Structure 1
Amino acid sequence: MEQPSLCGTAEDHLPAPPRQPATPPVAAMASMSMSGSLNEEGVRTGISIVELQKLQKLSKETTEKLHRVWDEMGLSPEERSLQLNSLLEAVETVFTQKVGDEVALRDEYISAAASLEKEIDAISEQLGMPRKHFPHGDSGNLMVKLTWLRSHLADFQAIKEERMTKLEDMCTRLQEIRIQMGEIEDNQLMDLDAFLTQEAMQDYESKLIEATHHKTRRIAAIQETIRDITALFEELEYDIQDDIDKAIMEGGEGLGIDMDAVAILSQRARELTDEKISRTERLKQLGSQIQPLWERLDVDTDTRQKFFMDNRGLGVGVIRQCELELERLIHLKQEMMGDLIRNAQAKIQELWDEMKFDDEQREAFTHAHMMAPICEDTLIAHEEEIAVLNIQAELYRPILKAVERYEQLCEERDDYEAKIQDSSRLLSRKGGSALREEEAQRRRVTQGLPRTIEKIKNTIAEYEEEHGPFVLNGRRFVETMDEMEIEHARQLAEAKERKKKSKDTKEDFFPGSASRIPGRTPSKKSAAGTPGGPGSSQRTRPPLGSRNY
């Protein structure tokens, strides 16, 4: 007996059932599930014709198989309808479950896409980089979108990992530097997620560079302090015993570079500098006492030089040797006190003579100290007087040199004025050179001497404005010089007067003698008179250097 198909109608196979559906349930289910809009090839989007045909074939074969079984079983059309409806419900349940599963999977895809979007947005914000968006928007394939998002996220994660690795390296180095330098850790610098942007990374790198430079400067300052301390150790000939001092001599190894190390080294440097200053002042004090004693005792240069060569530096031993030398010189000075006082007196006498002190100027010191007992106070008084006289002599010497030049020119003036009275000098075989020499002498007397006098007066005026009268042999030299010039002018006028009287006497004694011989005039020699005679203008001058002012 031929079995009805699931794809046919109940009327084709069963006798007049009370209510028979127009389409078998399974076939209707297949038709319903496969219905919908078709594309240009006549197939619903995403389902091929082959797949549709398979479902239809499966529905038909299943219905036919059921009818054959039911025929054998003798099921009535009502029972068969119930069975088919039950099957339809079961199929619908499977289809519904499948649809629900796929919807759930689709929702998972959507949720996963949203999660990826959120993660990409977070990393994009951390990195400070703009993110890309799915090119097809919300209408695109979810699986394609998920693949694209995962790829985009992987790119961002690679950049983040690269930056994080660099930040971790910089953070480690920065923290090491801060620990070495004794600085407190900065927790903000430990939160590396806050420094993932390019600008933040550059800022972090700048902090590392700044810390590195700070460390370099700290090390350089510490090394410079160590060098200074080492130099002071050597200069002071310091005995190294302390552990810190030993570490300093080894280049500062083990001291570190934190602020405690800086404080220790700075304190040590100050202590040694203070010690150097103290020892230097002590040596200066000893030197200021030794040097005058060497001068007093006339210690030879070789002995002094050898002492300097043997006692250089600022060591304790050098100071001790200077103290011993001072003690030796003081003892020697006591033994030579008498000779030292006598030598000082001779020096005072020498300075008095140089500055032409008169007896009154010398008497004050002579009366007070020259006859004093031989003792330290007497020697000190003599040395103080020498110091005062040396200062005065330094001021006197430029003026005394000008005074000496004045005396020389005065002698030359006397010589010149005497020479020009002798007319026979013109008849000498060396008349030409003699005249040239006489002309040079005339310029020195007529030009050089007035300039010298003016210079002396100006120099003495400056001296007297600050130091009081410039006195030689008890008189102001300016007054003495003025008197000398007045005396010279008086003598010169007297000589001219004598010469004139002598000439008048000869004319009265030999009237008309000059006109008795035509073409002849009286000779200058006869008119001038015999040198040294009544008509001569020669004057007697004291020898050079013998003037007493």
Structure 2
Amino acid sequence: MADPQPAPSQSHTTCSSLLHELQIIWDEIGESDDERDRMLLQLEQECLDIYRRKVDRTRKYKAELHQSLAESEAEITNLISALGERMIVARGKGSLKEQLSTIEPVLDDLRLKKNERMKEFSETQWQIAQICAEIAGNGQSNDSTSLRVNESDWTLNKLAELKSHLQELQNEKLIRLQRVNSHINAIHQLSVVMSFDFFETVNEINPSLSSCKSDQVKSISNDTLARLTSVIRSLNQEKRQRLQKLQNLGSTLMELWNLMDTPTEEQKKYDYVTSLISSNVDEVSKPGSLALEVIEQAELEVERLNVLKASKMKELVLKRQSELEEIYRGVHMDVDSDAARQILISLIESGNAGMSDLLSSMDDQIAKAKEQALSRKDILDKVEKWKYAAEEEKWLDDYEKDENRYSAGRGAHKSLKRAEKARILVSKIPSIIETLTSKIKAWESEKGIPFLYDKVINQLTHLLFYVQFSI
């Protein structure tokens, strides 16, 4: 076997020296040429296998570089599209490693932008989800699906769209919070006026509304707003009802005070009630002015005065009845006093008659009685004059029948003077009767009723006709 040719490379020189050394060893061993050829062929095959494995690994590495380059380029393309970047990345020149080293800074920069953009998207979407949860009344949002981001669209336009939506929701939240605070203030004012437990009232709506913790977020959900509105409506209705009740009680108090001449000092104790009589429901804002305690106090006072009124009104009504009877009696008009008094007492004790109306009716009767008495006055004056003339006529008859009338006894002079006056008066009786008769007829014609005198219908008229006929 020929000696190997020297080669310029160090590796070839080393291989030659090793082969030469191997030949020497074989010579010393006494290896045959066939065995030597077989071993050399085996050695050559082993070298080929080593080269082949090296080539395969290198080829695989090249493929990996190609794959990495392709993936990097694809990722750059996707990131540019997702981020909405306006940039063109030219394909690199040179070896694969040179191309990779060229695009790696670009890829790193795009990845950094993506991470920063993702943080903005996530924060914005988290805030959106949080506000939506508050509006829906779900409290803290734990739904991870609501925070998912579409990874194909990381553009600034999409981010601006999300932030615009977030701004709308923040405005909606602010408006709702203002409404909640406004409703809470309204409930507080109504609670103060009617002495309700404010904290208990709002706590029943939602515990967050009555919390004093600074970090406690007030509920702004649709349900909370609806319940606040409902409570305000209910409280306003209760306020109107209480005001109406106090106004009625105040009016009743004033009516009772007027009927019973209650002292002003005693009335002042209930100024807080009577001052509400002309008040509008929106004007009533004084703390405790519509409290149940105030209403109960007014009701107790009305009840007390009504008890007093029963006896007082009975006294007043009967006093007016006595006045009415006196008027009738003074003008000789018929009136059944006992029956009238019994009817009045029954009405008072039954409670079916309004005392004010009853007194007003009595006053009307008294006024009519006075008017009627005035219309009878002229006739009654003439009746009295006629009755006096008739009495003097009777006395004159008795006087003239007395045989001792001219005796010089004590008082004879006075009797003589009276007799002279009586004769003059008696001579006027026919004209008195005629005048009285005509006046009675005129009165009856005007009034359309008979002229009554001391329970006897037309007694005067019959008597006058009889006397006149006799004359």
Give the alignment's TM-score, normalised by structure 1. 0.45
User: Does 2:89 align with 1:133?
Assistant: yes
Structure 2: gaps spanning 5 or more residues: 276-288, 324-339, 345-354, 366-471
Question: Kindly tell me: are residues 68 and 143 of structure 1, through their superposed partners in 2, closer, same or farther at Cα, counting changes over 3 Å?
Answer: same
What's the counterpart of residue 59 of structure 2? 103
CA contact (8 A) 1:4 1:67 kept: no
Alpha-carbon offset, residue 276 of structure 1: 0.8
How many angstroms apart in 1 are the aligned matches of 2:187 and 2:321? 48
How many angstroms apart in 2 are the aligned matches of 1:179 and 1:384? 74
CA contact (8 A) 1:170 1:208 kept: yes
What's the counterpart of residue 270 of structure 1? 233
Question: Kindly tell me: are residues 324 and 73 of structure 1, through their superposed partners in 2, closer, same or farther at Cα, counting changes over 3 Å?
Answer: closer
Taking only aligned residues, the RMSD between alpha carbons, in angstroms, comes to 4.7
Deviations 1:141-167 (A, max 9, x none): 211222333333222222222233333
What's the counterpart of residue 119 of structure 1? 75
Task: Give the number of the structure whose alpha-carbon radius of gyration is greater.
Answer: 1
CA contact (8 A) 1:180 1:257 kept: yes
Instruction: For 1:140, give the aligned amino acid.
Output: G
CA contact (8 A) 2:317 2:359 kept: yes
Structure 2 residue aligned with 1:192, among 149, 173, 176?
Answer: 149
CA contact (8 A) 1:127 1:197 kept: yes
Structure 2 residue aligned with 1:225, among 174, 178, 183?
Answer: 183
Alpha-carbon offset, residue 308 of structure 1: 1.0
What's the counterpart of residue 285 of structure 1? 248
CA contact (8 A) 2:320 2:362 kept: no
Bigger CA drift: 188-197 or 373-382? Answer: 373-382
What's the counterpart of residue 316 of structure 1? 292
Deviations 1:57-83 (A, max 9, x none): 446656665666677789999998887
Structure 2 residue aligned with 1:216, among 168, 174, 188?
Answer: 174
Question: Kindly tell me: are residues 115 and 304 of structure 1, through their superposed partners in 2, closer, same or farther at Cα, counting changes over 3 Å?
Answer: same
What's the counterpart of residue 391 of structure 2? none
How many angstroms apart in 1 are the aligned matches of 2:26 and 2:109? 64
How many angstroms apart in 1 are the aligned matches of 2:264 and 2:356? 25
Q: How does 1:81-480 map to 2 (within 5 A)?
A: 91-130=47-86, 132-136=88-92, 139-183=93-137, 189-194=146-151, 196-238=154-196, 252-253=210-211, 256-291=219-254, 304-309=267-272, 313-327=289-303, 328=305, 330-331=309-310, 332=312, 335-337=315-317, 376-377=356-357, 379-380=359-360
CA contact (8 A) 1:230 1:249 kept: no
What's the counterpart of residue 367 of structure 1? none
Alpha-carbon offset, residue 110 of structure 1: 0.6
How many angstroms apart in 1 are the aligned matches of 2:321 and 2:200? 53
Structure 1: gaps spanning 5 or more residues: 9-26, 28-51, 344-371, 386-549
Alpha-carbon offset, residue 232 of structure 1: 1.5
Instruction: For 1:210, give the aligned amino acid.
Output: E
Question: Kindly tell me: are residues 383 and 305 of structure 1, through their superposed partners in 2, closer, same or farther at Cα, counting changes over 3 Å?
Answer: farther
Q: How does 1:507-518 map to 2 (within 5 A)?
A: none
How many angstroms apart in 2 are the aligned matches of 1:82 and 1:308? 134
How many angstroms apart in 2 are the aligned matches of 1:55 and 1:239? 101
Alpha-carbon offset, residue 108 of structure 1: 1.4
How many angstroms apart in 1 are the aligned matches of 2:208 and 2:115? 44
Instruction: For 1:317, give the aligned amino acid.
Output: E
Identity of aligned residues (%): 23
Deviations 1:407-432 (A, max 9, x none): xxxxxxxxxxxxxxxxxxxxxxxxxx
Instruction: For 1:143, give the aligned amino acid.
Output: K
Question: Kindly tell me: are residues 376 and 182 of structure 1, through their superposed partners in 2, closer, same or farther at Cα, counting changes over 3 Å?
Answer: closer
Alpha-carbon offset, residue 383 of structure 1: 9.1
Give the alignment's TM-score, normalised by structure 2. 0.51
CA contact (8 A) 1:218 1:257 kept: yes
How many angstroms apart in 1 are the aligned matches of 2:60 and 2:207? 79
Classify the secondary structure of the residue corresponding to 2:105.
Answer: helix
Alpha-carbon offset, residue 278 of structure 1: 0.9
Alpha-carbon offset, residue 107 of structure 1: 1.2
What's the counterpart of residue 6 of structure 1? 4
Question: Kindly tell me: are residues 249 and 226 of structure 1, through their superposed partners in 2, closer, same or farther at Cα, counting changes over 3 Å?
Answer: farther
How many angstroms apart in 1 are the aligned matches of 2:149 and 2:231? 41
Paired residue total: 311
CA contact (8 A) 1:113 1:145 kept: yes
Classify the secondary structure of the residue corresponding to 1:223.
Answer: helix
